[in-house]
Structure 1
Amino acid sequence: MASAREMRLRIKSVKNISQVTRALETVSASKVRKAINAVTATRSYATKAWQVLRHVAEQPGRDSLHPLLAHRKSVNNTLVVVVTGDRGLAGAYNSNVIRFTSQRFDSNPVPVKYIAVGRKGRDLMIRRGKKVIADFSNLPAAPSFADVSAIGRLAVEEFNSGAVDEVYLVYTDFVNMGRQIATVKKLLPLDLEGEGLVEDFGNKSTGPAAAYEYEPDMREILDEIIPRFTALQVYQAVLESQASEHAARMIAMRNATDNAKELVGALQLAYNKVRQQGITNDILDIVGGAEALAAK
């Protein structure tokens, strides 16, 4: 059994750790509120942009409307944009994203290349031998569209150049504080298989989609909105992932603080037992010495 001094040092160490975890929980609670506000502010616009992309892709002759809508005759390479965090201490947040990505793409019939958004995801994928062609780490705490747009531009350039034939986006969808879901979305070319057209107010249309009228020029408009809306989906995914990361870290630090309190209680009880045992032994030694003197 450990000595009383060792028990005191361990109790002090656990208390110090609990102070750190409590501080991290407080910081994450502040950041998650800001992240949720950012997600809420942009989610409606990103959703409508996604609906516009899907509507455009449902137009007759979609392959001739824009190169980013055209399906390739054969798929020879796949690009996956994986969004994780730059820091740990968020429970299983980062490992869950990488595990989900591995389950989805390890058995892919064609070679897969990755764009890593977040240092933790990059390190985990490199450790597993994945081909990472680009790394976007140390994004601002509150990223703007300009901070993230380079990711979307790179994905569009890889697709336009013919280096890849399809692009997927893997991120964590923020549902609520206690639930975040790893999600995969096909960015390029836009895939509508199995999806009905979502009209305004969330109603689904089962009939043919109404054709858009473009002014002044269809090609000019599509050349502007399709790459921009594609990059917007990446931006929204980053915001969703940041909110999920802060929520996961807050919960993980809260659990760590609670566990530290329980451990301190258990160690304090063990320390009291050791201390009581030491006092009892000292009393026995004194009584034994007194009896020995009395016997003489």
Structure 2
Amino acid sequence: MPSLKEIKGRIASVNSTRKITSAMKMVASSKLHHAQQMIENMLPYENMLERILRSFLASEADAHTVFSEVRPVKHVAFVVYSSNSSLCGGFNANVTKMLHAAVEEFSALGKENILVYPVGRKIAEQVQKMGLKSAGDFTELADKPNVAQCIDIARELGEKFLKGEIDRIELIYHHFKSAGSQILQRKTFLPIDVNEVIGQDNDRDLSHKTVTPEMQEYLRKNAKEEEKKKKVESKPLNDNFIVEPDMDTVLKTLIPKLAHLMLYTALLDSNASEHAARMVAMQTATDNADELLRVLNLQYNKSRQQAITNELLDIVGGSVNN
């Protein structure tokens, strides 16, 4: 049985750890709020772009462009989003696991024909361990989302796709649904299916940054209502509406903008998901520390009471002998 001094030292150690986890939870909560605001600032542009594309696609029977051309896959690229730091639960481990599965799926191509754009230090380290070809260093982008750099990556990928250097491009990231729910997704970036991409991720809950049983129950009850809201039918353009210079030119301009938005949206979702995962992990660690402190304090009090009882028995026994 541990001594009172050992138990007291362990209580002090757990208390120190609890202070750290509690502080990290507060920092993650603040960063999550900032990440949610960035998503909210992006949503008006996303909604307007999707609304325009829905209207054009409802009028245009065939929205085929060079970016939607499906061809045999000989070269594949992955844009994978992770974090630069750890202590966020299984956030990075799940991304790594999905990347392994994706690479295994295209293993027949050979590692020399698989290119990875690692956004985040954790996934960059895994790419190096797996012996895959990396397209560059994007660690700074994971901490500081930058729309300009996302557009540069999207343009580079688009050029390689048009030149035939890459036949398929996929995104692997966490879709931020709410503070308590982040869904790991593997989405095709190119060739792009506009009808499939538009509106599929408009299910975020950005009004909360806490995780409680009541919130989880609320999300479950409102899941069906959210699905109904997503299925909004598009009305075709008015026949008198004149498109200049022509429909194909407008679509060729809008679809690349949608591709740029996909990369930036995935980055914002991954960033918010990282902070939410870290907040939940630190909250769990703090709760575990509280439970451990309760057990240690109980053990300390029992040991102290037993020590006092033993001393009393010794005193009483000594007086009786005298």
Task: Report the TM-score, using the length of structure 1 for normalisation.
Answer: 0.80
SS state at 1:185 partner: strand
**2:83–2:143: 8 Å Cα contact kept in structure 1?**
no
Residue 156 of structure 2 aligns to which amino acid in structure 1?
A: L
Give 1:148 deviation, angstroms: 3.0
Identical aligned pairs, as a percentage? 36
Q: 1:92 aligns with which of 85, 90, 94?
A: 90
Give 1:130 deviation, angstroms: 4.1
Instruction: Tell me the equivalent position of 1:123.
Output: 125
What does 1:45-124 correspond to in 2, within 5 Å? 45-49=45-49, 60=62, 62=64, 65=65, 67-72=66-71, 74-108=72-106, 109-111=108-110, 112-124=114-126
1:138-193 deviation per Cα after TM superposition (whole angstroms, max 9, x unaligned): 33755231243333233224323432111111111111111111112211111368
**2:82–2:142: 8 Å Cα contact kept in structure 1?**
no
State the distance in 2 between where 1:192 and 1:163 align.
22
Q: Whose radius of gyration is greater, 1 or 2?
A: 1
**1:83–1:238: 8 Å Cα contact kept in structure 2?**
yes
Residue 46 of structure 1 aligns to which amino acid in structure 2?
A: E
Instruction: Tell me the equivalent position of 1:18.
Output: 18
Q: 1:79 to 1:214 in 2, by over 3 A?
A: farther
**1:197–1:205: 8 Å Cα contact kept in structure 2?**
no
Instruction: Tell me the equivalent position of 2:215.
Output: none
- Provide the aligned C-alpha RMSD in A: 3.4
Residue 113 of structure 1 aligns to which amino acid in structure 2?
A: L
**1:115–1:134: 8 Å Cα contact kept in structure 2?**
yes
State the distance in 1 between where 2:154 and 2:198 align.
24
Instruction: Tell me the equivalent position of 1:171.
Output: 173
Q: 1:61 to 1:271 in 2, by over 3 A?
A: closer
Pair 1:253 & 2:282 matched: yes
Q: 1:175 to 1:288 in 2, by over 3 A?
A: same
**2:81–2:172: 8 Å Cα contact kept in structure 1?**
yes
Q: 2:312 aligns with which of 283, 287, 292?
A: 283
Q: What is the number of residues matched between the two proteins?
A: 283
Give 1:120 deviation, angstroms: 1.7
**1:43–1:236: 8 Å Cα contact kept in structure 2?**
no
Q: 1:46 to 1:196 in 2, by over 3 A?
A: closer
SS state at 2:171 partner: strand
SS state at 1:171 partner: strand
Give 1:224 deviation, angstroms: 5.2
Gaps of 5+ in 2: 200-229
Q: 1:50 to 1:182 in 2, by over 3 A?
A: farther
Residue 37 of structure 1 aligns to which amino acid in structure 2?
A: Q
State the distance in 2 between where 1:205 and 1:150 align.
31
Give 1:115 deviation, angstroms: 1.0
Instruction: Tell me the equivalent position of 2:185.
Output: 183
What does 1:200-215 correspond to in 2, within 5 Å? 202-204=231-233, 215=244
Q: 1:215 to 1:191 in 2, by over 3 A?
A: same
Q: 1:235 to 1:183 in 2, by over 3 A?
A: same
Gaps of 5+ in 1: none
Task: Report the TM-score, using the length of structure 2 for normalisation.
Answer: 0.74
Pair 1:241 & 2:270 matched: yes
Greater mean deviation of Cα atoms: 238-247 or 103-112: 103-112
Give 1:233 deviation, angstroms: 1.0
